[in-house]
Structure 1
Amino acid sequence: MKLTTLTTAVLLTFSGIAQASPLPDFPFITVTGEAKLDVAPDKARIQFVIRHTAAKADAATEAVYKQGRDLMQFLATQGVTEANIDAAQVNKEALYKDYNDRTITGYEASQPISVTLEQLGNYVAVMDYLFKQPQIFSIQGSFDSSQREQHELKLSEQAGADARRRANHLAAAQGVKISSVFAISETAGWGSLAGDFGFSGAAVSYGALRKSAEMADSSGNLVLPRHITLQKSVNVIYKIKP
């Protein structure tokens, strides 16, 4: 008899879990508040890969080493210190005749590099150098602000205020009032009301582009962004009352 009672209790417990709803059991509304800010970038990050192929492994690897040494010397002339240079380990891969014939025809050595420029004054010169190097590929530049953290704190406050304004307008349109905050999401979207919570992150988009003064004679196709757009969004669930 005791065993039967225990089994029944367990079944009832699991049944209750299965029937539980992820939705709040009170009247509520959800809103998304947003805030954006255009700021002039003052720093940049450049990522690229040093890559060389050769018939012999030592020749491919040595070419990558040499390009790396030349790069370090050039960056030093631009005021870039080693603390702002991140390099992954050199990787070596065999090259084959084709997919079916695995005869080795050569070797490829590569090394991913990331360079942070604390000042944008030398961005054009660095990019121009990288583009002209025959053994440097996959060059990508991104811009940022050294004041990002301060800007994002202000944007978070503004997004929260925008969410409350939207909630008040929505509630008033239905003849009710918002009561208190039940949950705040910092993700890009709820996904579902039982989803994770979190900020959408500082979304960055590029504004109109302009040429810098030092590009007048060369590097005419290199451009700097006039601004980057920092963005925050916050999702809020408000309890409502009649």
Structure 2
Amino acid sequence: MKLATITTALALTLSGAVQASPLPDFPFINVTGAAKLEVAPDKARIQFVIRQTADKADAATEAVYKQGRDLMQFLAKQGITEADIDAAQINKEALFKDYNNRAITGYEASQPIMVTLNQLTNYVAVMDYLFKQPQIFSISGSFDSSQREQYEQQLSEKAGADARRRANSLAAAQGVKISSVFAISEASGWGAMAGDFGFGGGSVSYGAMRKADMAESSSSNLIVPKHIQLEKSVNVIYKLKP
């Protein structure tokens, strides 16, 4: 009796595994379409960390406070509002002599900050300021377009058209034709096909670089991209005509 119960349970488990297969049970073809578009960036996001070490915790923390106040004053002069500034909570860590000796030798206070520039006219000035501050580290910038949503819609349509072209070509080589669309997804791999349809982010890569228009200043060595490249890919499953 116990053996029969185990056998029945095993049969049900195997049946469920077969039913859960993500592969369609009809003739199909799966292709990936892609599209790229170069656009001029008009906004940027700059991330960095204010960090200071000192013998005492209050000295390290106060140094971060002061750098933050100076930063806010500078950004205000650049026309950057508080709404464009995101700051994490200040973090404080103890510094030890070494791994084995846990005697505290000092303290480090830090605060990650992200600044959004809605225009690139002040990008060079902001980056130049950040690079020259002794208590600001891990500076990185990325560029974007305020019209990203519209561009991504165009890319989605072009990627979809590319997928259909590839499917028609591949099917014709096998002497068959495609029928209707069964599934669309940006995710790769069969496992995600069933639950991840639609369009999302899209990647950004940098195009050709150009110097900023500030040749009389030392900050002219800073560069901004002439364009950024937006990309979109889409996976499509087409049914094949019998």
Per the TM alignment, residue 91 of structure 1 is displaced from its structure 2 partner at its CA by: 0.6
Distance of 1:4 and 1:61 partners within structure 2: 69
Counterpart residue number, 1:241:
241
Counterpart residue number, 1:175:
175
User: Is 1:212 matched with 2:218?
Assistant: no
Counterpart residue number, 1:15:
14
Q: Which runs of 5+ in 1 are unaligned?
A: none
TM-score, normalising length from structure 1?
0.92
Distance of 1:11 and 1:109 partners within structure 2: 58
User: Is 1:53 matched with 2:53?
Assistant: yes
Counterpart residue number, 1:85:
85
Flag as ranges the 4+ runs of structure 1 deviating above 4 A.
3-11, 191-196
CA-atom RMSD in angstroms = 2.1
User: Is 1:155 matched with 2:155?
Assistant: yes
User: Is 1:39 matched with 2:53?
Assistant: no
Distance of 1:107 and 1:4 partners within structure 2: 66
Percent identical: 73
- Report 1:85-234 matches (<5 A): 85-187=85-187, 189-190=188-189, 192=191, 197-198=196-197, 199=199, 201-234=201-234
Letter in 2 for 1:153: Q
- Cα deviation, 1:36-82, whole Å, max 9, x if unaligned, reads 11000000000000000000000000000000000000001100011
Distance of 1:92 and 1:5 partners within structure 2: 63
Number of aligned residue pairs: give it: 240
Distance of 1:193 and 1:61 partners within structure 2: 46
Letter in 2 for 1:54: A
Per the TM alignment, residue 214 of structure 1 is displaced from its structure 2 partner at its CA by: 1.7
Structure 1 residues 129 and 92 mapped into 2: Cα distance closer, same or farther (>3 Å)? same
Per the TM alignment, residue 164 of structure 1 is displaced from its structure 2 partner at its CA by: 0.6
Per the TM alignment, residue 19 of structure 1 is displaced from its structure 2 partner at its CA by: 3.7
Distance of 2:60 and 2:6 partners within structure 1: 69
Per the TM alignment, residue 6 of structure 1 is displaced from its structure 2 partner at its CA by: 8.1
- Cα deviation, 1:76-114, whole Å, max 9, x if unaligned, reads 110001110111111100000000000000000000011
Distance of 1:116 and 1:175 partners within structure 2: 53
